[in-house]
Structure 1
Amino acid sequence: MRSRHHHVEGDRVLSPSVRWSIAVSAFGLATALIAGPVLADDGAGIDPVSRVARLRELCHSGHAAPSSDPVEIIARHDKALAACNTLINDHKLAGESLVAALLDRADLLAPGTGAAYTRALSDYDRVIALAPKMALAFWKRGKARLLYMRDLPRALIDLDTAIRLEPSQAEFFVTRASIQASLAEPAKALADLDRAIALSPRFEKAWTVRGLTHFNNGDTNRAITDFDEAIRLAPGADGNYRFRAAARRAAGHEAEAAADEAKAEELSADKAGEPAPVTRP
């Protein structure tokens, strides 16, 4: 059974004080486990080279920016998974083409449960066997272990390997910081986040996660400073206003916290295409 404890992730840090959910529920549906064959209008009737190119495009389409429409999310997911299955099962891919298709399929399956998650790990394992020096594969497998099974020891081993192979990637340090925080090692987490920010000062996610790590560690002033920078870098991200609101409230700044919450609601309503709620004095 998967743990439901709050944790730090490469995108966000979960804690008793600051709660949010990982947006993967739509991908955990049973329909996402085994997608059917690709529809005829997605490549049938064209020459084999063009068909493979079309399947590759569809397989990778699961990485597109998420939609706000759950039906569209599920349809896109199933279509991408079907294309990946067809590529891997029915075409003799090799080398980089096979690695790319396996990674795409693993990413689609990893948020699922049971057999889907197991199949994702098998795909990541195949990629690592084919490309043992591919840092990206270790990062993806480690992130899946962190997010979807809470297998922290193995996740940490994967991230240590990813960073050893490619120490210039800020994202890797943010993910490892998430694991360190989940293992109750805030000093190590903060050291990784400092490294991530040094590598990529405009990487908003690193500032957000460091702010949340400071907040979880009881340092509200540093948390607020980091959220200030995250908001400056990504002024349209409603989550950062919510996080800063929590930190401001903990610091006793109620009026500023309320203003941040109102801004977060406004941004959230804009994304959903709904009118923002009226705030009464």
Structure 2
Amino acid sequence: MRCVMRRSVALVFGLTLACGSALAASEQDRRDCAGSQNLDDRFAACTRVIEDQATPPPVRAIAYRNRGNAYASKALYDLAILDFDEALKIAPQDLPARFSRGRALNLRGQYDRAIVDLTELLRLNPQGERGYNERGLAYLRKGDLDQALADFDSALKINPHLPYARNNRALILARQGKLDLAVAEYNEALRLDPDYLMAYSNRGRAYEEMGQFEQALADYKTAADKQARPKNDDDQRAKAAAKQRQARLAALIAEGKATPKAVASAERRVALVIGNSAYQHVPTLRNPANDAKSVAAALRSLGFIEVRELYDASLSDLGRTLKDFGDLAAGADWAIIYYAGHGIEMSGTNYLIPTDAKLEQQTHVEDEALPLSRLLSKVTPASKMQLVILDACRNNPFIAKMRMTGRAVRSLKQGLASIEPESGVLVAYAARDGTTALDGDSAHSPYAEALVRRMLEPGLEIGLLFRKVRDDVYAKTARQQEPYTYGSLPAQPFYFRR
């Protein structure tokens, strides 16, 4: 029995506001809100400025923006977006707030919304090279290479000395097979910024595809060994990707298998497998841990270079593990997250339920559960396959608990809500939206059993694979459970096992 999920706001930092009238903000609060290096101090200071009724609207808008940027620095993009929303309600032409909201939406995987924000930003400021670069990234992640290239070109036309725009332009050239041109762009990016670790890692990959393995290893080593700049997430992702690629290429060379054809066929596949069985405040689920272990073993046997496992995860466990997995996915061709456990849908938004959740009231869902959108954003950095598999639609005892406490549950519904993931992302449900899945009477759920069997079957293209899983489960459950997939993939075929 499991089932539930959420929207995109949670993880409150403990900034408690006293009941009644808020205390007046001091001049020190305004200074801390604007520039304190301690994020917790900045949260508290900005909150006092926002809550002070004497704060002028323009200053309140800036406080919302600054607090939003602090949330974004903690990768709490949902909370950041809410604050940017408030800033823009007060000051619709606040360009930094609009850019920051567009970037947060981009990092959350909401590319279409990001493009809308950044297009408005560029209407207000046509000479904003950062806006073109950020919108180009949104198009790139959506798979619209032509529009992405046009935006990076526009950014470089305004300012030819942008190393990150050079790097992003090179990424597109590499995907188009123009490896010599891509290397030239990476060279220029590194001339502009010799400490740009992402450009070293990406140039190494281009060299690898060209068969220039020694140059590739040298670039990977540089990216892996160089010191990451403080608070630079790109550097951290570059180091993680470079270490993976360096180890894999060195192994191919040692085995005498380092040929351009072998390297091209050696896709970098990574997975995160989560099984939540031992819930602390509702009865234990029998199968999620078993299901997750079976899926993890299957993925390893299929040659995934790294399969991370997480069992009986608390909210903080989930957040920390997903953050690390996002860095891992940045250097991968395939990124897959499999989740078995409770999930919930509230007001059209899906959430995963960690094992320490109490959910005594409906209003606690956003605080104690993790939105599906967080998982989607962590697979999107992968270059080819971005897949989330959810066996999380079982009968949900948390809803019954909320009903017994007399709380309003009008917006809680059976099963998970239908979703429309960004282009290139595939989401598989164990049971279609609005219905529940069975935990099964054996060691595995009907869905996990069918999924593992079909993943190991040679020659099944992934679209056909999930259709066969659907038929297997539908038959085994006497038509009580119908798995479903959402999203779309590019035209190329994908196989777990050829």
Query: Which aligned pairs between 1:234-249 and structure 2 lie closer than 5 A?
Result: 234-249=193-208
**1:112/1:258 CA distance change after superposition, 3 Å:** closer
Tell me, in whole angstroms, the C-alpha distance in 1 between the residues paired with 2:113 and 2:99.
11
Aligned residue in 2 for 1:35: 15
Tell me, in whole angstroms, the C-alpha distance in 1 between the residues paired with 2:221 and 2:111.
36
Q: Secondary structure, in 3 states, of the residue corresponding to 1:167?
A: coil
Tell me, in whole angstroms, the C-alpha distance in 1 between the residues paired with 2:126 and 2:228.
39
How far residue 36 of structure 1 moved from its aligned partner, in angstroms, is 5.5
How far residue 164 of structure 1 moved from its aligned partner, in angstroms, is 0.6
| Residue 81 (str. 1) matches residue 43 (str. 2) | yes
Q: Pick the structure with greater CA Rg.
A: 2
**1:92/1:270 CA distance change after superposition, 3 Å:** closer
Aligned residue in 1 for 2:216: 257
Aligned residue in 2 for 1:207: 166
**1:267/1:184 CA distance change after superposition, 3 Å:** same
Tell me, in whole angstroms, the C-alpha distance in 2 between the residues paired with 1:81 and 1:184.
36
**Percent pairwise identity:** 26
2:177 paired residue among 218, 226, 232: 218
Preserved contact between residue 58 and residue 90 of structure 2 (Cα < 8 Å):
no
**1:196/1:269 CA distance change after superposition, 3 Å:** closer
Q: Secondary structure, in 3 states, of the residue corresponding to 2:55?
A: coil
**1:269/1:109 CA distance change after superposition, 3 Å:** closer
Could you list the runs of 5+ residues in structure 1 that have no partner in the other structure? Answer: 3-27, 38-43, 65-75, 273-281
* Larger helix fraction of residues: 1
How far residue 179 of structure 1 moved from its aligned partner, in angstroms, is 0.9
Could you list the runs of 5+ residues in structure 2 that have no partner in the other structure? Answer: 18-22, 236-498
| Residue 55 (str. 1) matches residue 29 (str. 2) | yes
Q: Secondary structure, in 3 states, of the residue corresponding to 1:168?
A: coil
Aligned residue in 2 for 1:25: none
| Residue 139 (str. 1) matches residue 113 (str. 2) | no
- Give RMSD over aligned pairs: 3.0
Tell me, in whole angstroms, the C-alpha distance in 2 between the residues paired with 1:269 and 1:197.
25
| Residue 128 (str. 1) matches residue 126 (str. 2) | no
Preserved contact between residue 208 and residue 227 of structure 1 (Cα < 8 Å):
yes
Count how many residue pairs are aligned between Structure 1 and Structure 2.
Answer: 221
Aligned residue in 2 for 1:68: none
Moved more, 52-61 or 263-272: 263-272
TM-score, normalising length from structure 1?
0.69
How far residue 110 of structure 1 moved from its aligned partner, in angstroms, is 4.0
1:206-226 deviations in Å (ceiling 9; x for gaps): 111112222233322222111
How far residue 136 of structure 1 moved from its aligned partner, in angstroms, is 2.6
TM-score, normalising length from structure 2?
0.40
Tell me, in whole angstroms, the C-alpha distance in 1 between the residues paired with 2:171 and 2:33.
34
Preserved contact between residue 111 and residue 144 of structure 1 (Cα < 8 Å):
no
Aligned residue in 2 for 1:193: 152
How far residue 190 of structure 1 moved from its aligned partner, in angstroms, is 0.4
* Larger strand fraction of residues: 2
Preserved contact between residue 33 and residue 112 of structure 1 (Cα < 8 Å):
no
1:179 paired residue among 122, 138, 148: 138
Tell me, in whole angstroms, the C-alpha distance in 1 between the residues paired with 2:151 and 2:77.
28
